[in-house]
Amino acid sequence: MKKVKRGKLSKKILSTTMSIMILISAISTGIYYLYTKKTIHELTYNLISLGTEKESVEISKYMTTILAQLNVIADSIETNGIDEEYIKSLNGKYGLGAGIYLYTSDGRYLDSTDYILEGDVKQREWYKEGQEHTDKFELGHVYKDANSGELIVTATRKISDGTIICGDIYLDELSDTLSQLNVIENAKNIVIDLSDSTVIAHSDKDLIGSNLSDGEITENLTSSEGIQDKNDHIICNSKIEGTSWAIISYLDSSTVFKRLNGANIFVISCISVVMIIGLLIQMLLIRKVTKPVSSITKGLTEMIDGNLTVEVETTSNDEIGIMADTLKTYSTKMKEKIGSLISLSKDMQNQGESGQKLSHKLFEASKTQSQAMEEFKETMTQIASTVTQSAENTVSLAQSMEECSELENIVSYNMGQTMEISHVSKSDILELDDSIQKIDESMNILDKKIKNVFEASDKMQNIIGLIKGISEQTNLLSLNAGIESARAGEAGKGFSVVAEEIRVLAEQSAAAANDIEQLIHQVEADLKDTNKAKEDSSNCVVISKEAAKKTLVSFENIINKIETTNTSLEKMRSKVTSCTMISTDMSAIAEEQSASVEEVLATIETLSENSKTIAEESSRAQNDAENILDISKDVYDSVKDFRIE
């Protein structure tokens, strides 16, 4: 058994109390941090909200002042009429940069900078916006000047006589003003047009004129009014009165809590110093309290090592004294128990050795029996296979004998037919003599027919020549068609097959014509031979009569032989029947033997399994005996080191 590493009681007490102190300190620090963070967060919310509102008011005042000055100018023009000198004098005044420009009801365009406008004025955005602003100047959409690239917003108004008055307000000064405003340290400000989310003022002038959703810096901003947290940023949105604009102030949350993190580090450092001082005080107190326990621990250690004669002495009258007295009583009782256990373990060891030897002999015997049963099983399996094969061969033999019987019936039937045919042939030979007489008469007719055939053969030669010409032409046409279909690719594949078939038919026609021509030549040659043979036929008639007589005698002999063969077939049929019955009986006997062998094999299988089971149980008994012997040895080894005297 692996020895467990032990620690001192003083260390355990010290580590436990120290862990509790660390836990309490961590919880206190966490509560302090969360409360402080919440307070700072609320203060930051209030500061950035108030600062944003203040900036919104400042920008609103700035724009309202310019619009008020434009309204004064418009009222003056409406009252006193249009004065070109007055209009030119407004260039660069009242924060307008380029003054004003207007389009009169009689179609004149006037500009403080003497700018000459080209194109249709009524198609200009400022003209369309001015048609809607009749009471006072109102701001239009923000845009970039094509010449200077500066961001401009146009204020427009229509006076009573229909004149449209416009003033361009350059927004660069607004960005400068915005960069000087400081809502809270590290906070950033941005002014957007709510109608299209266009950035019209920002401390970073590269972002001016872009959309709110474009820049990396503005990706966390929103056009929703109010204050909120989003993506580790505090964002405050306030609408600027008198415009369609809004100012957004945003601050990275990490900058807000940066100093809070420093304060937390200071608090944790102070707590750590206090805990170290407390640790030193605890170490002194614990060492004094746990000193009497050392003697008891030493006595217990010796008892664990096997020395039961140790006696623990202490003068303490508290719980530690009770522990010492209890340890003495325990030592005395353990001496008695260990003595009995040593004697019992020796007896168990002797019995275990005897049981191990007996179980080993039993296991060897059962193992030998199991092997013998396995060999016997294999032998019976081979016998069963042989018997089964013999039964199958016997069945095959019976089937073969049945087939022989069927063949014998067929032979007998064929012999009967042969005899009938022989009788018929005998009658035919008698009629043959009469027929030979008629043959001579037919020869004359044949001579006339042969002459007619020669004439027809000449005509067929002409027809065959015509067929050959047609087949050659057809073959040439099919070859041309195959070439054209190959050129046509996939579209001519079907036609290519037809052309090939036509070519094959043409070749077959030519071959057939050649064969017919050869046959005609052969027929002509045969006709010539036939004509010559006709002349010899008369002489052969006499010879044929003599041959007919001899054939008649031969048929009579054949009929006699067939009758003898039928008698032999009847005897063979009787023998085949007997063989069939014998093979059937042998097949039944073989099947019974096979069934008996299967039963014996099943019994042997059961005995074999029982032998295996006995062997396994014997092996298990042997293992149990060995385990008991090992346990008795372990018990003796465990108690033999104890000292009881």
CA dist 90 and 545 (Å) reads 159
Judged against a pLDDT cut of 60, whether residue 221 lies above it is answered with: no
Contacts of 18 (CB under 8 A, 6+ apart): 275, 279, 282
- Over residues 539-577, the pLDDT tens digits come to 666 676 676 677 767 767 777 766 776 676 676 667 667
Judged against a pLDDT cut of 80, whether residue 435 lies above it is answered with: no
Average pLDDT of the residues in 327-342: 68
pLDDT at 542: 65
519: closest CA among 598, 442, 453? Answer: 453
Average pLDDT of the residues in 533-539: 66
Secondary-structure percent of the chain, ordered helix, strand, coil, rounded to 5: 75, 10, 15
3.30.450.20, 3.40.50.300, 3.40.50.720, 3.30.420.40: CATH of 11-268: 3.30.450.20
170: closest CA among 207, 208, 132? Answer: 208
pLDDT at 357: 67
Contacts of 251 (CB under 8 A, 6+ apart): 44, 48, 184, 186, 187, 188, 233, 234
> DSSP per residue over 116-173, as a string?
PP-S-GGGSHHHHHHHH--SS-EEEEEEE-TTT--EEEEEEEE-TTS-EEEEEEESHH
- Over residues 374-423, the pLDDT tens digits come to 766 677 677 667 667 766 666 666 666 666 666 667 766 766 676 677 67
Strand ranges across the sheet with 188-193: 198-202, 188-193, 245-252, 233-239, 226-230
Determine contact, residues 220/250, Cβ cutoff 8 Å: yes
> DSSP per residue over 542-572, as a string?
HHHHHHHHHHHHHHHHHHHHHHHHHHHHHHH
How does residue 347 score in pLDDT terms, banded at 50, 70 and 90?
Answer: low
What CATH architecture does domain 442-560 belong to?
A: Orthogonal Bundle (1.10)
pLDDT at 217: 46
Average pLDDT of the residues in 586-600: 66
Contacts of 112 (CB under 8 A, 6+ apart): 87, 88, 89, 90, 91, 96, 98, 99, 100, 101
Residue 109 CB-density burial (10 A; 0-12 exposed, 13-18 middle, 19+ buried): middle
Determine contact, residues 208/193, Cβ cutoff 8 Å: no
Judged against a pLDDT cut of 60, whether residue 2 lies above it is answered with: no
447: closest CA among 523, 533, 521? Answer: 533
> Does the pTM exceed 0.95?
no
pLDDT at 256: 65
- Which of the residue ranges 98-102, 241-245, 595-599 would you say has the lowest mean pLDDT? 595-599
CA dist 111 and 166 (Å) reads 9
How does residue 257 score in pLDDT terms, banded at 50, 70 and 90?
Answer: low
The torsion of the CA quartet 315, 319, 324, 326, rounded to 10 degrees, works out to: 140
Average pLDDT of the residues in 497-519: 75
- Over residues 123-149, the pLDDT tens digits come to 888 888 888 888 888 888 877 776 667
**CATH class of the domain defined by 320-433+575-640:** mainly alpha
Domain locations in the chain?
A: 11-268, 320-433+575-640, 442-560
Average pLDDT of the residues in 44-71: 78
Contacts of 78 (CB under 8 A, 6+ apart): 159, 160, 161
The larger pLDDT score, comparing residue 496 to residue 223, is at: 496
Judged against a pLDDT cut of 60, whether residue 183 lies above it is answered with: no
Cα end-to-end distance, the chain, whole Å: 27
pLDDT at 535: 67
Neighbours of 242 (CB within 10 A): 16
The token pair at 292 is: 């009497």
pLDDT at 1: 44
> Rounded to the nearest 5 degrees, what angle is found at the Cα of 415, between the Cα atoms of 409 and 421?
140
What is the pLDDT of the chain when averaged over all its residues?
A: 71
Residue written as token pair 């607004």: 174
C-alpha of 332 from chain center: 72
How does residue 260 score in pLDDT terms, banded at 50, 70 and 90?
Answer: low
What HEC string does 64-128 produce? HHHHHHHHHHHHHHHHHCCCHHHHHHCCCCCCCCCCEEEECCCCCEEECCCCCCCCCHHHCHHHH
DSSP conformation class of 211: B
Helix (H, G, I), strand (E, B) or coil at 643: strand
Same fold, 320-433+575-640 and 442-560: yes
- Which of the residue ranges 491-495, 501-505, 520-524 would you say has the lowest mean pLDDT? 491-495
